[in-house]
Every structure is written in structure tokens, then in C-alpha cells.
Structure 1
Amino acid sequence: MSVSKQADIAPTLRPPPAPLADGMIISANFSVGGFSKRWNHCHQLANFLARYASANEDDPERHATLLSTFFNELLEAVFRNHGPCGEIQIRFRKSQSHIFVEAEVPVNEQSAKFYNHAVQLVNQPDPMSWYREQLENDVPDDDAQALGLLELAVVYGSKLSITEPAGGGQLVLAIQFPFTEVDEL
């Protein structure tokens, strides 16, 4: 019978990443007032959420960087387009090769119009041509605010949709991020 010595075991700094099961990753709720007052912390929130969502990936730093970009665009759109009061809820979940983000946002007539317009822009037949044209020319204000969300679709292949629950005053902005395909970008 032999007893293994410490030197016989290969040292590892970190265990191999475990595949993340499909399902909820993290959710965050915050008030419109608190979110608006602390806008300068948006990048920190995006970085935190991205690092958490990427913790078990093969290359967590790379995935966190990409997700931080995605999340920051979403948070910026929500910051600029929300109702005057209420609570913002963001849910992150993973399903196979995608990260799904659902942002439940209090809206008024103007902000609901913005989200509907952004979804129309993303779902047009050739959003890349439209996007390039907007970058080269003066962009109308309504379209300029939507450019960040449109960029997620045309550059990264994200899908954007909205649902408006009965009763009004809220909508759910859903974005599907291609989490594994980003390695090919």
C-alpha cells in the first residue's frame, strides 16, 4: 500500500469550470428614483452583473467584458427611458448558448413609444444598412437613443422584443444575447 505524497498530486489554482445549468442566474430590483440618482454607478452595476453571470465560464474575463458591454447598453436605455416612479426589475437567465435578460420597466406614454420604436428598428429587414447610415449622418433624437440597443442587434446578433402586461404602466424588454457565439466575433 502506498500513500500519495503532496508532490504526486498536480496543483491546480482553480477547479475546472462547471457547466452552468439552464435557468436563473441573478436578478436585480431597484427603484426608479434610486437608479436615476446613482446613474454614475451604472458601469459598476453592469460589471458586477456581468462578472456574476460569467463566473463559471471557460474564459470568465472575456465573457464578463462582453456581457458588461451588453448590460451597460441595456441599463443606459432603461435609464433614459422609464416612467417617473416604480421599480425596475432585471432578470438574467441562461438557456443553452444564450443569456436572456428581461428588464421590467415602469413606462409612461413617451418611454413606451421609445421601446416600441427600438423594437421596430431592430426587426426591420436590413437593420445593418440602417445602422451604418445612422452612424454616417445626423441621427434624429428618437433614433439616436435607440442606437445602443440597435448596436446590440446588428453587431452582436442579439434579439430584442417587448411585451406589455395587461394594466399598462409597465413593459418587459427582453434581449437574447448569443453567449457562446461571441467567441466567433
Structure 2
Amino acid sequence: MKKVITLLFLVTFGITQAQKAFTGKGDVKVNVGANLQDGGSGIQGSVDFGLGENFSFGLVANYLLGVDNFSGFYRGNTAVYNDSKADFKDRFDAKARINANLSSVIGVEQLDVYPGLSLGLHNFGGHVGGRYFFTDGFGVFTEIGFPIAKYGNNDDPFYHLNNQATFSLGASFNL
């Protein structure tokens, strides 16, 4: 019962003390969190800069810490992989992105829902995310990213690591 009461208190406090999630031009948001996907998991960091009432641009970087090794034949290739490990270029991705920040459009100032497009080292893609701020400087975020057009060819067993749907969640900070 104590846990339920504590949880209700925290939820109530978080809702009543929530702050505006996106203020427009000059707003700077930093996200740091976990990146979850098929074949690996890692960390994600991003920064978004407000350009207008409902528009921002930013940068995002992912690095996969845990990646499954690969053994066997890949896609009919005659080369055999024996416990092959992903290189840095397979684990890392960086993207420039633009967002449409919809908190004022949907009428909930504490929740910033932001669909957008990104152009990265491995693909051109899209994302949909959301941020909720409990205080003026701290909140939480979640984001789903997906590729639209992939670069290169599919001849590497780790090609899929940065060319698939990803899920991220973590902390968001207002600078």
C-alpha cells in the first residue's frame, strides 16, 4: 500500500508541477538516454535548438555498446564469418535533424510531441518523439526512429545496425 501511495504522490506532483516543454525560438533541449534495437543496445544523445514557435533543428548521435557477434555465411556470400565483431563505424551513427514541435498545436504545454526528418551517416530517416517536463529544467523523453532511404549496399553482416527502427528513452534537460 505504501508503494501505491508513493506512486500516486509522484504522479500527482509531476502533473501539477509540470513546466512548458517547448518555448520556441532560442529554446535548447538536450536528451540523454538508452537506445534499444534489434542486434544491439546503446546510448543516444541529442540536442535541439528552437528556431520558431513550432520548429527546431538539432543533432543526434548513437553508439551501440552491446552488439551481437556474427558467425556463418551472410546473404549467400562465400566468405565465412567466425565470431566477427562490429567495428566503430558499424556501432556509431550521427544525424542532423529537423523537428515540428507540436506542444502549442495539441494544446498541452508540458508535452512536446515532435515528428521530424533526419539525415545521417547511414541513412535518411524519420522520427517521432515526445518530451514531458516535470520542472523547468528536467523531463523525460521517448523517441522512435526509422530509416526511409539507406546508404550503401547490404554486403556487411552489421549493415542493419544503423538501418532499422530504433526506440530510445531517457532524460531531457532544458538549457
TMscore range, shorter length? under 0.3
Give the number of the structure whose residues are more often strand, by fraction.
2
Give the number of the structure whose residues are more often helix, by fraction.
1
TM-score by length of 2: 0.25
